[in-house]
Structure 1
């Protein structure tokens, strides 16, 4: 998504911090046993420049004549980088870059930095290390997702490295060993199916796998290193305040923020740069951006721009004395309602400016919000004794020593408290609720890790506000049960309210896949509270949904949001029936029917045969509106076929897929094509009998994400990560340049669609189909898109496996079924069908 669409603990003793006397080094030793479970390179090249790796991984030597190693891991990886040093001449420095696309290695900041949120990972995609002796050095911070890595000798004469890799922070299970499967005689489809599976395994994290990014000392306070400034959850409503704190720079400088949103990283950013002594300053330090003995002032997300993360470097102020490393200084920052900002260092005024004098993109600088601490790329510092006073009357507002472990929870820098699925692997590492709609379905079709789904949903439920809404993008480093007041306003979560509905459907998907009625019953009261909020959004006049903000289209009377609500209410009725809550089932059924009738009455445009974008935009329509009005059942079969007619699709077709809606200006060079919204359209194309369009969309959009070694000439190896992408441009390349997440589950809908429509295996509608107790194998669409054979396997209720395989030989179809006892299925082709009772392997022959 753009901006929405945005660690190992450095423990000096208990975690083996390795402190070199010759120069500072914020890396740590790695246990040799950890190397047995690591992501390892697939190819390597060594030379004077970045170059395409073709050699098998082996020991390599970096010298002044061949200083750069380019390393390809073959597909997305994630974890703590490590480097096994065999030998080094004297002392050396190596600069390491990380990137999902190959081209990111050519850029000064790799494919980063990522300053949107505190993601329990390195804010930078460039990391520098001192190397002074043989041994294994490991970064103390996670790199969340990358295929590519480069290692450059930037100081010294020679380093021999025998092994590199990543200590995993995600699942390293071989996907081919997972119980859920899909296969066909089409190699492109087989590779596409794996995209969503890979993205989910990279974005879904085990509890405690993302370690705390701060270290706490009872005297020195919080040690911060190469992580964006993390805001204090307890001070989210502060404004016009004076902040005082003590800091000791270990290397480079210290970053702090004020008037910062707790949800995201935007706010006033300040960076104190020390004297940068030669003995501890890396050779690649950017002296133009971070000059010694200075304070940088910026607004928004950081100090450099990164595509959609606009950052405004407002000013750089010279400090009239040297700021020594390892010495303590007192920083005093005063923010007043007159837009005045003043900063003192040890009582000496450094600057006193009016923020109104600076350009910040046309909007005023916010003066309210939390404060936080961090460190810029390769910088590190201690921070302690934060004190906040009211700037107007001097009254004491807040005191925080930052000298005990509880600080980690307050600033969201503790190890992740729950098993959760994130937005993407490398960027915007938040638990985005709306994105989980696709992720939850991918999990059921390809990984069977339903603990990921339960963990994510429970984490979201712990954020429930008084009106029933859930936090639509909580950070995993905060305790969700204690952050409701900071993230919500007056008991509500403003913004992207359609994500509430998508979140409920993530819960419905879990129950549909597993029939886990125990979990459903445990959490049902909270979901009902959220559904009460949803029902309150239905306009009493025309019966359509009205919300203040939506991602999928217009929030007021929009077809996408209203049809999404129908889908959710129908799903709620099914769950209520399964839980024997007859009254609730009746309420949700009736509400869904009334809302569907309202959509058909007020939003159906009979002249063009499509659902209007909204009540006020009758002649326009959208990909999400088309998709959701079909999959929700709002459109009958006749209207579904009309909606996906070639005439309507032609008005949306753009590049490898379809633009979001007809109002999008195709001449806009910044246009991106969304696999997320196209993912809502894809199953609707099959349901509306537009199988040719569905086939073309699969191959053009998801085919662009593949590597070149897949047959049929699709894909690009410089951008392939083995995972589904966030956005594409009109040429089929990543849609937000280097910022694009190339491992994003929201873009992986093709995975579950191939299982359900190419192989044809899906649970029947209604609670009778929960956990695949009753299932359907529909062969027609797979045959229509040109397959001659396909197979699929899913995990059913109780963890048993349901396997299907079919093959066309001339006019004869052979179908093999291995279904658990107690399940019932229907094999369907055209209007004919055959009932199958589960229990062992069964073979069926059908003549077409």
Structure 2
């Protein structure tokens, strides 16, 4: 951070905070304890409704006593010596607050959740007032839920340790179960700028699930920091993928103080295999190469991007604005086939495409076309990216149509069938919301194979039955082993 002296009133809100009706339905949770200092601390005092960050106390640790979920907002009372960059970390476990990525990144998250677990906000002298994701309701009208023990689902015994186990287990699992419509899309589209893509885990197009030997063309505009592009993603198994990150020149007026210029140097393209550019437990990623772009990559400028994929040879060529940046063969990057495979899948470029970004980044994408590598007149896919009603469901970023129970409150945002077996037993006594149980089965049944088998996991933010008619995609997705699971 470049300077200090910012007063904040902090109140993270539950679930779909951007919708006024959901604000009325869920209200907000306020912190219960706060510790001010130089390092994260569990020795907090009672939170009384506001705090000041200064050079003598630049860090605040907020404790909610329970596992809570939602979207945060900040009310800024005053700023001195601004602008100030404030980094916010979210974690389920206290030790994660001392790590660069907190307890993330959560690469199995969809674009309806911030998969980075760390975000930065810039406040200036003129920023007094609410700061939040786009919100249509006044914070003054939001109900504040201060006593979480008043929510449905209680347990009390003569053994205090048993009571704590209840809070850690049964109560915490309720944060993994969602009401229908509670997950808010983070993407948006317009005729003017195409689709806005925040710095989330890439959204993957289900319509491109079986691409092979193709040329991908699109226009990309970096708003802040950089943009991410994915090819060769196995959508039916939610695994593998070739990740490409394009970094801007990092102009001082938009670049945050905590920018990771080591991972992504200015005006470079970084190539990675796996889910992301950083590892998480059992979700391995490898940086394959880093390449200089032969000019300064400007922000707020449209650039044509071309990615040529010869999946037969494992050859990928990346160009921007007519300049070739790299031409590589995946099998010649110094990694073994075992390293560049996941559950037996080793993509050489075949698979789906997607768009995303790294922590705190934002970009636009438009005019996406895919043609055959051997016949440029053969169009395999086309999307101008201007119709939000088409783009958001296709790239897995729509609001969830059913209530559902997921694999943990923060990690996957997927329904895992085997984890649901034990969750459903707890939910009956944890919060008494049977619609979340039945909604989970609704999601599972819509991906059931013709011969009866259920998938190991299903997403919550794609269009139901995608594509609408039964096809190879839905059959393969439904036919996944029911025993597949991961832990992070």
Q: Same fold (TM over 0.5)?
A: yes
Residues 381 and 362 of structure 1: CA distance in aligned 2, closer, same or farther (over 3 Å): closer
Q: Which residue of 1 aligns with 2:27?
A: 37
Q: Which residue of 2 aligns with 1:249?
A: 222
Q: Which residue of 2 aligns with 1:203?
A: 176
- Cα distance in 1, alignment partners of residues 31 and 476 from structure 2: 50
Q: Which of 243, 257, 280 does residue 283 from structure 1 map onto?
A: 257
- Cα distance in 2, alignment partners of residues 288 and 402 from structure 1: 32
Q: Which of 426, 431, 444 does residue 460 from structure 1 map onto?
A: 444
Q: Which of 92, 104, 107 does residue 100 from structure 1 map onto?
A: 92
Q: Which of 137, 144, 148 does residue 131 from structure 2 map onto?
A: 137
Q: Which residue of 1 aligns with 2:272?
A: 298
Q: Deviations over 1:22-59 (max 9, x none)?
A: xxxxxx9998x959921111111112222234212132
Q: Is the 8 A contact 1:298 1:314 kept in 2?
A: yes
- Cα distance in 2, alignment partners of residues 448 and 112 from structure 1: 30
Query: TM-score, normalised to structure 1's length?
Result: 0.50
Q: Is the 8 A contact 2:319 2:325 kept in 1?
A: yes
Structure 1 residue 490 displacement after superposition: 5.9
Q: Within 5 A, what are the aligned runs for 1:178-197?
A: 178=152, 182-197=155-170
Q: Which residue of 2 aligns with 1:429?
A: 413
Structure 1 residue 99 displacement after superposition: 0.9
- Cα distance in 1, alignment partners of residues 351 and 74 from structure 2: 40
Structure 1 residue 348 displacement after superposition: 1.3
- Cα distance in 2, alignment partners of residues 273 and 78 from structure 1: 31
Larger radius of gyration: 1
Q: Is the 8 A contact 1:53 1:72 kept in 2?
A: no
Q: Which residue of 2 aligns with 1:443?
A: 427
- Cα distance in 1, alignment partners of residues 111 and 172 from structure 2: 17
Q: Within 5 A, what are the aligned runs for 1:563-602?
A: none
Q: Which has the higher contact order (CA 8 A, sep 6+)?
A: 2
Q: Within 5 A, what are the aligned runs for 1:303-702?
A: 303-336=277-310, 337-358=312-333, 359=335, 361=339, 363=341, 364-394=346-376, 395-405=378-388, 406-483=390-467, 485=471, 487-489=473-475, 493-495=479-481, 497-498=482-483
Give the number of equivalent residue pairs. 449
Structure 1 residue 469 displacement after superposition: 1.8
Secondary structure at the aligned position of 1:382 is classed as strand
Residues 49 and 183 of structure 1: CA distance in aligned 2, closer, same or farther (over 3 Å): closer
Query: TM-score, normalised to structure 2's length?
Result: 0.85
Q: Is the 8 A contact 2:398 2:463 kept in 1?
A: no
Q: Which residue of 1 aligns with 2:248?
A: 274
Residues 443 and 382 of structure 1: CA distance in aligned 2, closer, same or farther (over 3 Å): same
Q: Which residue of 2 aligns with 1:60?
A: 51
- Cα distance in 1, alignment partners of residues 304 and 198 from structure 2: 19
Secondary structure at the aligned position of 2:465 is classed as helix
Q: Which residue of 2 aligns with 1:78?
A: 69
Structure 1 residue 193 displacement after superposition: 3.5
Structure 1 residue 353 displacement after superposition: 1.1
- Cα distance in 1, alignment partners of residues 66 and 192 from structure 2: 43
Residues 236 and 48 of structure 1: CA distance in aligned 2, closer, same or farther (over 3 Å): same
Residues 119 and 197 of structure 1: CA distance in aligned 2, closer, same or farther (over 3 Å): farther
- Cα distance in 2, alignment partners of residues 478 and 441 from structure 1: 27
Q: Is the 8 A contact 2:111 2:186 kept in 1?
A: no
- Cα distance in 1, alignment partners of residues 204 and 119 from structure 2: 23
- Cα distance in 2, alignment partners of residues 167 and 204 from structure 1: 21
Q: Is the 8 A contact 2:453 2:479 kept in 1?
A: yes
Q: Deviations over 1:438-473 (max 9, x none)?
A: 111112233221111111111211112221222331
Q: Which residue of 2 aligns with 1:154?
A: none
Q: Which residue of 1 aligns with 2:233?
A: 260
Q: Which moved more, 1:62-71 or 1:125-134?
A: 62-71
- Cα distance in 2, alignment partners of residues 57 and 325 from structure 1: 40
- Cα distance in 2, alignment partners of residues 427 and 490 from structure 1: 24
Q: Is the 8 A contact 1:115 1:265 kept in 2?
A: no
- Cα distance in 2, alignment partners of residues 177 and 99 from structure 1: 22
Residues 235 and 365 of structure 1: CA distance in aligned 2, closer, same or farther (over 3 Å): closer
Residues 416 and 369 of structure 1: CA distance in aligned 2, closer, same or farther (over 3 Å): same
- Cα distance in 2, alignment partners of residues 416 and 79 from structure 1: 15
Q: Is the 8 A contact 1:30 1:138 kept in 2?
A: no
Q: Is the 8 A contact 2:18 2:184 kept in 1?
A: no
- Cα distance in 2, alignment partners of residues 30 and 475 from structure 1: 22
Structure 1 residue 116 displacement after superposition: 2.3
Structure 1 residue 219 displacement after superposition: 2.3
Structure 1 residue 199 displacement after superposition: 2.9
Residues 200 and 255 of structure 1: CA distance in aligned 2, closer, same or farther (over 3 Å): same
Q: Within 5 A, what are the aligned runs for 1:732-811?
A: 739=488
Secondary structure at the aligned position of 1:330 is classed as strand
- Cα distance in 2, alignment partners of residues 491 and 325 from structure 1: 38
Q: Is the 8 A contact 1:258 1:269 kept in 2?
A: yes
Residues 61 and 183 of structure 1: CA distance in aligned 2, closer, same or farther (over 3 Å): closer
- Cα distance in 2, alignment partners of residues 343 and 285 from structure 1: 24
Secondary structure at the aligned position of 1:438 is classed as helix
- Cα distance in 1, alignment partners of residues 44 and 53 from structure 2: 17
- Cα distance in 2, alignment partners of residues 207 and 34 from structure 1: 14
Structure 1 residue 481 displacement after superposition: 1.9
Q: Deviations over 1:790-821 (max 9, x none)?
A: xxxxxxxxxxxxxxxxxxxxxxxxxxxxxxxx
Structure 1 residue 309 displacement after superposition: 1.6
Q: Is the 8 A contact 2:404 2:436 kept in 1?
A: yes
Q: Which moved more, 1:325-334 or 1:73-82?
A: 73-82
- Cα distance in 2, alignment partners of residues 288 and 107 from structure 1: 16
- Cα distance in 2, alignment partners of residues 429 and 286 from structure 1: 26
Residues 452 and 29 of structure 1: CA distance in aligned 2, closer, same or farther (over 3 Å): closer
Secondary structure at the aligned position of 1:474 is classed as strand
Structure 1 residue 404 displacement after superposition: 0.0
Q: Which of 88, 108, 111 does residue 79 from structure 2 map onto?
A: 88
Structure 1 residue 319 displacement after superposition: 0.4
Q: Is the 8 A contact 2:315 2:327 kept in 1?
A: yes
Secondary structure at the aligned position of 1:290 is classed as coil
Structure 1 residue 188 displacement after superposition: 2.5
Q: Which residue of 2 aligns with 1:637?
A: none
Residues 429 and 172 of structure 1: CA distance in aligned 2, closer, same or farther (over 3 Å): farther
- Unaligned runs of 5+ residues in structure 2 are 1-16
